[in-house]
Amino acid sequence: MNYAQLVRLMPDDREEPCRVRIGASGCYSISLVTESRYTSDVRIELQQKSVADYLQPRLVVRLYHDARMAEVIETQGVSRLAANYPQPNKAMRHADEKHQSNRFLADWLLLCRRHGEAELAL
């Protein structure tokens, strides 16, 4: 479901980022990072200066077009998330951090669908 919902938010002109405003929650930028025949990497980030940098959500999502699947490959600057982490661990990652990142994407997309307004960035 994440794939189908995220593809709908992508602009037709892949050169320009898309903005999604979600009520008082802020304005998010969706931009294409890389694109190949079977995959696309998309960056989603909050565009709000009044929020501290470490509190601004930043995701890079890989879209697998042949499988019609979306996967969070980077969150808050952390890439290569493992499926499971032993507890405790030095990086202080949750046991299911990859699952939680993909769940956050699903929740964010649901919020966009219910309360968002998409527009092309100027």
SS (H, E, C) 61-73: EEEECCCCEEEEE
Structure tokens at 46: 């909050």
Residue 122 within any structural domain of the chain: no
Question: pTM for this structure?
Answer: 0.85
Q: Report which secondary-structure segment, H or E, holds 7.
A: helix 2-9
**Residue 6 located in a structural domain:** yes
Given a contact cutoff of 8 angstroms between Cβ atoms, the answer to whether 59 and 74 are in contact is: yes
Structural domain total, the chain: 1
Is residue 9 one of the residues assigned to a domain? yes
pLDDT in tens, the chain (122 residues): 999 999 988 766 666 777 788 776 788 888 889 999 999 999 999 888 888 888 888 999 999 999 999 999 999 888 888 889 999 989 888 899 999 999 999 999 998 888 887 765 44
Domain range spanning residue 113?
A: 2-117
